[in-house]
Structure 1
Amino acid sequence: MSTTPYFAVEQIKRTGHFNMDSDHFHESYEIYYLLSGERYYYINDRVYALQVGDLLFINKNHLHRTTSKGRSSHERILVNFDDLFIEPLLGRGVGELPLYHGESFLLRPDVHEQGRIEDLFHTMLREQKEARSGSTEYLLALLLQMLILMTRIREAKPEPVPPESSEKQRRVYRIIEYLNKEYMQKLTLPEIAEQFYISETYLCRIFKQTTGFTVIEYLNYIRIREAQTLLRETDDKITRIAEETGFDSIAHFGRVFKQIVKRSPLQYRKQNQM
């Protein structure tokens, strides 16, 4: 595990069709703000249609992905930070902030709230670029303001923004629930398709269209996330963990784990075991 506090903020504008292809869960927290355009965002096993001004908080190790909604351009601001960066806040009465509840959620701020949010983001961007003395402390203070503002917006609007819910999407949600429950089994695409009385081709198409993931990609992410928990919290042998998370061999497990986590299971355990 890194001993250097991590914080990054970036603003990017993209034109035309774009689907996120970077890591889909990570050990840092993320705040996503849509400045312009439209996007679909998969999080918490549901898909949301984002509109301008929407603000997402993604907790660490939560599977997520953003995909195109139409072919229009979009612009967003993204903040990532880790536990080490916010460590100075611990013990200072900030336990009600969203990151301490293990949740991810979508907020839909009003116009006035959007103005305050964008001011904070642009101050962060400027401070990161200039990197003057006291920059880390100032960025931490700005982040704390952002998290408090998000908490207040959420408290003022306790009704959550509803996910997309067409018949196709509801079917995919049922498939996702099945995969989350049965990931430890030796699942195959034909077996999953048969379970839901659909063709393998149709299964693959609607799953990718709805979530942005392939079925196998999603299944591997779920399995590896569970394996990470077992590596951190138990002394089980790696061969046993591979078996418990549905992999057909230790070699396959090691290959997929390293592809997703960028470290071997043994390296991950050494760096993260409690």
Structure 2
Amino acid sequence: MDTLPFFDVEQIKRTGTFNMDSDHFHESYEIYYLLSGERYYYVNDRIYALQVGDLLFINKNQLHRTTSKGRSTHERILINFDDAFIEPLLELGAGELPLFQGESFLLRPDVQEQGRIVDILHAMLDEQKEAAMGYMPYLQALILQLLILIGRIREAAPEPVLPESSEKQRRVYRILEYLNAHYAERLTLQSIAEHFYISETYLCRIFKQTTGFTVIEYLNYVRIREAQTLLKETEHRITAIADKTGFDSIAHFGRVFKQIVKRSPLQYRKQNKV
């Protein structure tokens, strides 16, 4: 069965503190554009402080979360689209854009570039709302314009926008690197805290404040993301995959997998086998 193309664009304005609590990685690409206010954004195991006009391109299956920076109102436009949606664009050269092959990244366009981006985004919002004849290829044409513009802005940028780097954040970055390297082991809050010579309470507090995730929540996402790869690309039994990704039982693995992926490991394998 062919996969139906997926595309969605939405504009939302929120007042006061808001922290994202929806799925934190997915098999679609995401473009986040901040129209007003300030936000912290966790992606690529780093924290970025977003300001008005910033644009984030988030590659598929990359863990991310946005959290409040103060209590200010913020407004953003968010686009999600999958490989099936951009497949017709590949013949037009979109597949050559380096943004699809690399890591997620943050851009800080100038005022003129911001104007061009906002015009395209508003055209997308209007097209999706009206759903007139031919709106799907029209949206594909608009996303192609946006992707090429993003690629040009990125190429012309004098230097990348750097992540936040306070002493606390650097400590959390080291913890993130440790979790990514040791997720297959039977980790506990106590063992992680002891490794870094800090208390469990302090570990949990700085990790949540910096990333928006709890330590266990983050560890589960890393483990499940690796499990998805193994389910798609290997013939390993599900019990072996649970063990290889650090879960203490098949029941625990199945419960966490379904909570995050919304499907059982067996259903996921059947739908995504390479």
For residues 5 and 169 of structure 1, the distance between their equivalents in structure 2, rounded to whole angstroms, comes to: 38
Match of 1:86 in 2: 86
Partner of 1:240: 240
Distance in 2 separating the partners of 1:144 and 1:98: 14
Question: After the TM superposition, which residues 186-205 of structure 1 pair with which residues of structure 2 at under 5 Å, given as runs?
Answer: 186-205=186-205
Is this contact kept in 1: 2:59–2:100, CA < 8 A? Answer: no
What is the one-letter code of the residue matched to 1:249? S
Aligned length: 274
In 1, Cα distance between equivalents of 2:94 and 2:7:
19
Q: How far apart, in 1, do the equivalents of 2:215 and 2:164 lie?
A: 19
Does 2:164 align with 1:164?
Answer: yes
- Unmatched tracts of structure 1, length 5 or more: none
Which structure 2 residues correspond to residues 146-185 of structure 1 after superposition, within 5 A? Answer: 146-185=146-185
What's the CA shift string for 1:73-126, capped at 9, x where partnerless? Answer: 100000000111111112332233244314210000000000000000000000
Aligned: 1:109 with 2:106: no
Cα 1:225–1:188 shift into 2, 3 Å: same
TM-superposed CA distance for 1:2, in Å, is: 7.4
RMSD over aligned CA atoms reads 1.0
Residue in structure 2 matched with residue 6 of structure 1 by the alignment: 6
TM-score under structure 1 normalisation? Answer: 0.98
Counterpart contact for 1:25–1:60, Cα < 8 Å: yes
| Cα distance in 1 between the residues matched to 2:35 and 2:96 | 27
The question of whether the paired residues in 2 share the 8 Å contact of 1:231 and 1:269 is answered with yes
Matched AA of 2:165 = S
Specify every segment of 5 or more residues in structure 2 that has no aligned partner in the other structure, as ranges.
none
Given the alignment of the two structures, is residue 95 of structure 1 paired with residue 98 of structure 2, yes or no?
no
Deviation of the 1:158 alpha carbon: 4.9
Paired with 2:201 and 2:89, the residues of 1 have a C-alpha distance of 49
1:1-274 equivalences under 5 Å are 3-274=3-274
Query: What is the CA–CA distance in structure 2 between the aligned matches of 1:107 and 1:49, rounded to whole Å?
Result: 12
Q: Distance in 1 between matches of 2:198 and 2:217?
A: 19
User: 1:72, CA displacement in angstroms?
Assistant: 0.5
**CA displacement 1:133-158 (0-9 Å, x = unmatched):** 00000000000000000000000015
Q: Distance in 1 between matches of 2:67 and 2:199?
A: 24
Judged with a 3 Å threshold, the aligned counterparts in structure 2 of structure 1 residues 221 and 158 are, in CA distance, closer, same or farther, namely farther
